[in-house]
Chains A and B, each alone.
Chain A
Amino acid sequence: MLYDRAGPAAGTGRRRRVAARTRLDFWFDAVLLLGYTLAYSYGFTGIAIHEWLGIGLGLALLLHLTLHWDWVIRETGKLLRPRGHDKLIWAVNLALLVAMTLCVASGIVISRVALPQVGIYTLGGPFWERLHVLSAEVTLGLVPVHVALRWRWIVRVGRRLLTRRSAGSAGRPG
Chain B
Amino acid sequence: MRFLRHLGAATAAAAIVVALGLAWAHFGAQTLAPGPQIRFKQEIVTMPPGSRQPHGTVAAGHGMRGGGIRVGPNGLTVIRARPFDLGLGSMFDPVNLPILRHTVVIEAGVIAVVVALDVLRRRSRRSWRAAQLAAETYRPDDEP
Closest to B117 in A: A148
Q: Is there a chain A Cβ closer than 8 Å to B65's Cβ?
A: no
Knowing that A48-B88, A133-B36 touch, tell me 19 more A-B residue pairs with CB under 8 angstroms: A37-B103, A41-B99, A43-B74, A43-B96, A44-B99, A44-B100, A45-B92, A46-B77, A46-B78, A46-B88, A48-B87, A66-B9, A97-B13, A97-B14, A106-B21, A140-B106, A140-B107, A145-B110, A151-B115
Give the interface of B toward A (CB within 8 A): 3, 6-7, 9-11, 13-14, 17-18, 20-21, 24-25, 29, 32-38, 40, 74-78, 86-93, 96-97, 99-100, 102-104, 106-111, 113-115, 118
Q: Mark A126-143, 1 if CB is under 8 A from B, else 0.
A: 111111111000001101
Report, as a range, how many residues of chain A touch the other chain.
35 or more
Cβ contact within 8 Å between B77 and A43: yes
Q: List 26 A-B contacts (CB under 8 A).
A: A37-B103, A37-B107, A38-B100, A42-B38, A43-B75, A43-B76, A44-B76, A44-B96, A46-B92, A47-B77, A62-B11, A65-B13, A66-B7, A67-B6, A69-B6, A97-B13, A101-B17, A101-B18, A126-B34, A127-B25, A128-B25, A130-B33, A144-B108, A148-B111, A148-B113, A149-B118
Q: Min CB distance, B70 to chain A, in Å?
A: 14
Cβ contact within 8 Å between B90 and A43: yes
- A96 vs B99: C-alpha distance when bound (angstroms): 22
Give the interface of A toward B (CB within 8 A): 37-38, 40-49, 62-63, 65-67, 69-70, 97-98, 101-102, 105-106, 110, 112-113, 125-134, 140-141, 143-145, 147-149, 151
Q: Is the interface of A mostly helix, strand, loop or mixed?
A: helix
The 3 closest A-B pairs by CB, nearest first: A148-B114, A144-B110, A69-B6
